[in-house]
Structure 1
């Protein structure tokens, strides 16, 4: 399984970012880490290993970028407006730098996105904001209401990064073409968020799969089961 390390200067973030890339061809998939996770977390926790067959068969090429959660939603040292503003720059990096890079390298016109826990929010938010660039969304135990991180403050930057708020009014036709899987489990602390998000999608007649795994909690063992299953549905 081919593994590459990349470090590049992000003109949107004004700093260097690090990333691991697995595979040499196949459908491009951006895989986000969990809360404050680094670019190597999904490898260390065995999620990449769970996808080995798909990578070695050339079916998928996985991009694992760093997060900047310590500067955005988890940065309690700054005002919530600054947290949301900083996240906007991360979103621009993904939209203007990483997604085009992955599409160019693989010759594919869109990317897939995935992530566990807070990475599931990152994947969902990027997919729902940029459906012109995303064909497949695999959120595993994600939460889709960012207001829990904003201390009661609310502005446009928060609205446009809070899927439960902006999705009811979304009308991009690409949303109805996207392969969307909301993975959760019986004892998942984020199960309720996934049910709410599923109900929003249902109300808009957006096809998706709400996958509730039995007798499992919010942790890596169930995510390692989900991930290869979801990769098998890429279209």
Structure 2
């Protein structure tokens, strides 16, 4: 695969971010890392190798940005109100910097959001907040209730970054035009979270696929199986 390293200054975050990019054309896919993961994590654990055919055929161009989870949700040294404020800056970076960049670069007006585990949260949260910019969302063993990181604290910022809270009242029309797949497995620690999100989508008559793999765990082998299958639905 063609691999390029990119580094840019984010005016929203106020510091530089790293990213790996795979391919030279195709539909733009933004692939988030898992908890504490860096921009190279999905490469190191073989997720990019699992979808190399799609990249080499020019069907997709995959962008693997850094996360700032250690500054936001996982930052136990600051108050939960400040954790969510940091995450909001990350969301603004995605919305105002990265998504416009990847759509302009590929000539495709909407992006695909994807991620495993906590990366699934990032994919879902952005997609449901900004559905006008997303054509498909693939979550693999995602977790969707961010209150586990707020130690009982709750405010409007948390509400609007917690998919199971804000999605029921979100009636943006583009939600009904999105290709949504919730991948999980029989022994996944996030199985219940996926059931809850699926029920919300079903109650809103939003078409989606809740894909439950039998006899599998919350781990990379099943995600390497899921990701190429989900890309094939594009």
Q: Who is 1:103 aligned against?
A: 103
1:12 CA displacement: 0.2
Deviation readout 1:122-150 (Å, 9 max, x if unpaired): 00000000000001000000011000000
SS of 2:171 mapped into structure 1 = coil
Kindly report the root-mean-square deviation, in angstroms, between the aligned alpha carbons of the 2 structures.
Answer: 0.3
Give distance in 2, aligned partners of 1:95 and 1:64. Answer: 15
**Match of 1:128?**
128
1:181-196 mapped onto 2 (5 Å cutoff): 181-196=181-196
Pairing of 1:35-184 with structure 2 (within 5 A): 35-184=35-184
SS of the residue aligned with 1:53? helix
CA distance in 2, matches of 1:107, 1:91: 22
TM-score for both structures, normalised by structure 1: 0.99
Q: In the aligned structure 2, how far is the partner of 1:60 from the partner of 1:215? A: 30
**Counterpart of 1:19?**
19
Residue 180 of structure 1 and its aligned partner are, at CA, apart by 0.1
Q: Which runs of 5+ in 2 are unaligned?
A: none
Report deviation, 1:4: 0.3
- Aligned-pair CA distance for 1:172: 0.3
Q: Could you say which residue in structure 2 is the equivalent of 1:233?
A: 233
1:140-184 Cα shifts (integer Å, max 9, x gaps): 000110000000000111000000000000100000000000000
Number of residue-to-residue matches in the alignment: 234
User: Aligned-pair distance for 1:36?
Assistant: 1.1
Give the Cα–Cα distance (whole angstroms) in 1 for the partners of residues 155 and 227 of structure 2. 34
**Structure 1 runs of 4+ with >6 Å offset:** none
Query: Which whole-Å CA distance do the structure 2 matches of 1:177 and 1:111 have between them?
Result: 13
TM-score, length-normalised on structure 2? 1.00
Structure 1, unaligned runs of 5 or more: none
